[in-house]
Structure 1
Amino acid sequence: MEQFKYVAAIDIGTTKIVAIIGRKDITGKVEIVGMGKTPSKGVKRGVVQNIEETSETIKTAVKIAEQQAGVKIKTAYVGIAGQHIKSMKNRAYKFISNPEEEINLADVLELNEDMKKIPMQAGEQIIHVLPQNYIVDDESGIINPVGMSGRKLEANFHIVICQSGSAKNILKCVDRAGIEVNSLILEPLASADAVLTEDEKEVGIAMVDIGGGTTDIAVYYNGIIRHTAVVPFGGNVITSDIKEGCGILARQAEQLKLQFGSALGDLAPDSRIVAVPGINGRDAKEISMRTLAHIIQARMEEIIDAVMFEIMNSGYADRLGAGIAVTGGGSMLRNLSQLMKFRTGLDVKVGFPRAKFTRGLDVEGGQPMFSTGVGLILKGFEFEMAPKVKEKAAPKVEEKKTEPIKEEQITPTVEGNSEDYTQEKNSALNELISGFTSSFKTMFGDKPDPKM
């Protein structure tokens, strides 16, 4: 048996592309051993707009991660986000063939798989089916029906949908970089796994991921994802406001935001002045720290109000016992948590990725800007272990041949080791909850950058 199992992930964001390699030892501990980060090219608001530029950037990030980890990767779990992501609620049911027998894991998995086959509008596809709860013979509110007896099994689902074209473009970019995509994973789902604890998800929490192009919201209660949404602006629009308000270059505005920015104008010193070099020999521009902070605060209040609207729209605003966890590059803005707490009336914390990093990666890798990448690794390992639906045996078809050919018997197959699958069925409750409620129960937008 190999000592380590490796999983790779790629986070394609508006302002950065990150390739991460993680490994799990025989005790189940996950460690991040390689991480490559490059400025993003060809991506806007989480959507690929230039295949060649994006694929070359992915190649660069992957090469850096491979050199650090000392391994070559052939496959990866890839994040997907952006304004095109949307969600819907739906219900499905099935009748149990023998009500005298217990409902088993295969019944539940089959119900979930059937939901993936529902018709979508042209140009759309399902990327995640997240169970909310189950109903057995009109008994509702069941988190896990495995082991129960009944004639009818129903379930309520939160379904995440993306534009097929956007998904195909991501697949093209990664394929041209020489990597095979294991699965597309909604980035907010990954970020949530990286920064939230199971206790926080149980008591109720809203995760807010502030990226460069969008801000993503995911609301949890009773350990289940309840609502997902995307706000169509993030840190880049703040940079644009500073550029326009101060009459400076975009790169100068970004540097001002990162070095001197604050989300609370009244706390910024009015007497402190920052000199920005002039263009082509012109005099430097003097900008007050308080003026800069007020520009930032005005836009951040707009983002926070949009986030709070989605939280209210979820119907769980009064059940968020753990408040809000803000992550992503934008979460590092000074005094942001104080502004969010004042604006929403909820407790606010900054979410850092909860993972072990190999020496040399711990300082940078532990920052909120890498929450999505770390979460994709965690999701990847969960997907590797999640139980799969057995394929039905294909019927044998006799073909007329001039010479007799020995037929190969087609048997049901399971992705992964069959012994692992049997073990998963024997521990149906834990695997279902961790496989779906933890792996699948989670949620939207551009992924954060080191820049807000």
Structure 2
Amino acid sequence: MTSTGMDEKIVVGLDIGSTKVCAVAGRLIRNNKDQETLEVLGVGETNLTDGVAKGSVVNVNNTVNAIRRAVADASNQSNLNIHLVNVSFSGSHVTSIKSSGSITRSSSGDEVQTEDIDHLLNDMYRTSIPADKEIIHVLPMDFVVDNETSVNQPVGRNGVKLGADFQLITAQANAARNIRKCIVRNNLAQDTMMLSALASGLAVLTDEEKYAGVALVDIGGGTTEMAIYYRNVLRHVAVFPWAGNSLTSDIQAGCKILPNQAELLKKKFGSANPNEYNLNEVVAVPGLSNRKPKDVLLKNVAVIIEDRLREIAALVQAEIIRSGYDGKLLGGIVLTGGSALIPGVELIFGRVTGVEEVRVGYPEHLEPNGRADLVGDPAYATAVGLVWAGYKTIDNRISFISDPNRTYKEEDQPVGPTRPVYSPGSSATKPPVGPKQPEPEPKKSWFDKLKEALQPTRGSETDTY
């Protein structure tokens, strides 16, 4: 019998998708062989039909209500009072910009420290971009120390000038603001906001794949997201506005049926291989009131699905070529998201892209229990990955992937009593005990601290993330 150690910190992932909102609470378990598994404590899921479109929140009220129900279900299952969440974001407006930056260190004799990398990252979050955009992630690729280029890990090297090539992942500022509104209106605090594909990668990719080179393709409801890893570093990100809902729309138009019937057909009988069905295999779809049922050929449904998946696979192939990693991805393509469950999807992507290794990615390293079974398929990869994000990082060379200096504006604050501020890494379910500690960023003057000391019972005016 082996002993296990449980991490006291409990993390809650909140995946706000185009078709559903899913909340997953979990904690890390370590056994005596230093292997780590995730114990799923609670799961809440709510269908979302009119709140998110193409990955972006378009109806705040509907999304707020869906989040409330999902979090309440996860809370009741796990018997936890949930306060802090890691939340996903997506959308066809998400872009990845390649940029570079550098700093000059004050001491040339000392080795590069983690604090120097933090300094460089903070500077990059201040990069000038259009006013309607917001930098969500600053992710380094290769570093430069003085004249030495292509440095993977600069910490410990001597040098005056520290620089790097970066990916700046941006989103429409209004879309990011809407997500935050949905969080604060549920009296929740946000620890990390993470691009869905990056969260999914934490749940379904192996370290070996990320080193060898792999393209993660997350086919969600409203968008398909793609992330390319090579030598353990995220190298390229892309988002396409076609995904599972596109398949449903095509079936609806091609078979002349209602949207909910098309979605049911896709889930129950959908296949990317038309040869699976004979010409005489049909399904009777209920008609409108007082009208006859409509017969739908299953082979036609499969032809429609195959065509749309071919288009998505062609976009993925073009993006792999554009990224410069064509022929370098020994780990192949890993498909995840709800549409990755369609039979035959791997064959489509293999044929169109020419990549030999294509597999469907399932959330792995889950402690066996009934709740783990609920989230064990690709549709829940993002939600599970958001829980993993509380215990491991996308890039172990950096200490944060969200701007630590970002503060909410007044209009983003919840109405009513101000909620407490939770620091990253704290328990998702327990408010801080004892006197409120000042946030480390941004730094406050002695006068601000004195004012806070004189008002010990007053909540914070802004939330720092």
Asked whether the two chains share a fold, i.e. TM above 0.5, the reply is yes
Determine the C-alpha separation between the residues in 2 that align with 1:380 and 1:398: 31
Instruction: Give the aligned partner of residue 342 of structure 2.
Output: 333
After superposition, the C-alpha distances for 1:67-115 in whole angstroms (9 at most, x for unaligned) are: 1111111111111111111111111111222211111111122111111
Query: Is residue 214 from structure 1 mapped to residue 223 from structure 2 by the alignment?
Result: yes
* Contact preservation (8 Å) 2:6, 2:28: no
Q: Are the equivalent residues in 2 in contact too, given 1:102–1:149 (CA < 8 A)?
A: yes
CA distance in structure 2 between the partners assigned to 1:327 and 1:168 by the alignment: 27
- 1:159-198 aligned at under 5 Å gives the runs 159-198=168-207
Deviation at 1:14, TM superposition (A): 0.5
Deviations 1:253-281 (CA, angstroms, capped at 9, x unpaired):
11111111111223332232222222223
Matches for 1:23-102 after TM superposition, within 5 Å: 23-25=27-29, 29-40=37-48, 41-102=50-111
Q: Deviations over 1:399-438 (max 9, x none)?
A: 9xxxxx99xxxxxxxxxxxxxxxxxxxxxxxxxxxxxxxx
Distance apart, 1:396 and its partner CA = 5.2
Q: Identify the residue that residue 129 of structure 2 maps to in structure 1.
A: 120
Aligned counterpart for 1:345 among listed residues 354, 357, 367: 354
Q: 1:294 aligns to what? A: 303
Q: Give the structure 1 partner of residue 167 of structure 2.
A: 158
| Selected match of 1:12 from 13, 16, 30 | 16
Q: Which residue of the partner structure matches residue 147 of structure 2?
A: 138
Query: TM-score with structure 2 length normalisation?
Result: 0.82
Alpha-carbon distance in 1 for matches of 2:443, 2:377: 48
**Higher helix proportion:** 1
Write the distance in 2 (CA, Å) between the matches of 1:398 and 1:164.
Answer: 29
Which structure 2 residues correspond to residues 225-374 of structure 1 after superposition, within 5 A? 225-346=234-355, 347-357=357-367, 359-374=369-384
Letter in 2 for 1:6: I
TM-score (norm 1): 0.84
The answer for the alignment partner of 1:419 in structure 2 is none
Determine the C-alpha separation between the residues in 2 that align with 1:306 and 1:205. 16
Q: Please give the alpha-carbon distance, in whole angstroms, between the structure 1 residues aligned to 2:171 and 2:287.
A: 44
Q: Which moved more, 1:271-280 or 1:58-67?
A: 271-280
Q: How far, CA to CA, are the matches of 1:253 and 1:116 in structure 2? A: 43
Query: Tell me, which stretches of 5 or more residues in structure 1 are unaligned?
Result: 400-404, 407-452
Say which of 93, 112, 120 aligns to 1:111.
120
Q: Judge conservation of contact 2:11–2:27 (CA < 8 Å) in 1.
A: yes
Is the Cα contact below 8 Å between 1:123 and 1:164 reproduced in 2? yes
Structure 2 Cα separation of the partners of residues 183 and 199 of structure 1 = 26
**CA displacement at 1:284 relative to structure 2:** 2.1
What letter is aligned with 1:349?
Answer: R
Counterparts of 1:272 and 1:214, CA distance in 2? 31
Range 386-395 or range 284-293, more displaced: 386-395
Equivalent residues, number: 403
Percent of residue pairs identical: 37
**CA-to-aligned-CA distance 1:122-148 (integer Å, 9 cap, x gap):** 111111110101111211111111111
The answer as to whether partners of 1:4 and 1:26 remain within 8 angstroms in 2 is no
SS of the aligned residue for 1:244 comes to: helix
Q: AA paired with 2:151?
A: I
**Given that residues 44 and 72 in structure 2 are in contact (C-alpha distance below 8 angstroms), is that contact kept between their aligned partners in structure 1?**
yes
Letter in 2 for 1:18: C
Distance of aligned partners of 1:202 and 1:2 in 2 relative to their CA distance in 1, 3 Å threshold? closer
**Contact preservation (8 Å) 1:242, 1:292:** yes
- What amino acid maps onto 1:92 in structure 2? G
Alignment RMSD, CA only? 2.6
Tell me which amino acid in the other structure corresponds to 2:267. L
1:380 paired to 2:390: yes
Change (3 A) 1:100 1:142: same
Per the TM alignment, residue 181 of structure 1 is displaced from its structure 2 partner at its CA by 1.3
The structure-2 alpha-carbon separation of the partners of 1:165 and 1:148, relative to structure 1 and needing over 3 Å to count, comes to: same
Instruction: Give the Cα–Cα distance (whole angstroms) in 2 for the partners of residues 3 and 336 of structure 1.
Output: 37
- The alignment partner of 1:82 has SS state of coil
Distance in 2 between the 1:44 and 1:173 partners? 15
Contact 1:337-1:349 within 8 A present in 2 as well: yes
Q: Deviations over 1:329-375 (max 9, x none)?
A: 00001111111111111121000011314621122210100000011
Paired letter, 1:148:
R
Do 2:13 and 2:385's aligned partners in 1 also have CA atoms closer than 8 Å? Answer: no
Deviations 1:192-214 (A, max 9, x none): 11110111011111000101111
* 1:356 alignment partner, SS class: coil
Further displaced range: 300-309 or 386-395: 386-395
Contact 2:37 2:365 in 1 (8 A): no
Contact persistence 2:83–2:188 (CA under 8 A): yes
- Tell me how far apart the structure 1 counterparts of residues 91 and 267 of structure 2 sit (CA, whole Å): 24
- Do 1:19 and 1:373's aligned partners in 2 also have CA atoms closer than 8 Å? yes
Could you give the per-residue CA deviations for residues 16-42 of structure 1, whole angstroms, max 9, x where no partner exists?
000111113576653221110010141
Q: Is the 8 A contact 1:4 1:25 kept in 2?
A: no
1:163: how far off? 1.1
Q: Is the partner of 1:100 in helix, strand or coil? A: coil
Instruction: Give ranges in structure 2 of 5+ residues lacking alignment.
Output: 405-439, 455-465
Whole-angstrom CA distance in 2 between matches of 1:49 and 1:158: 27
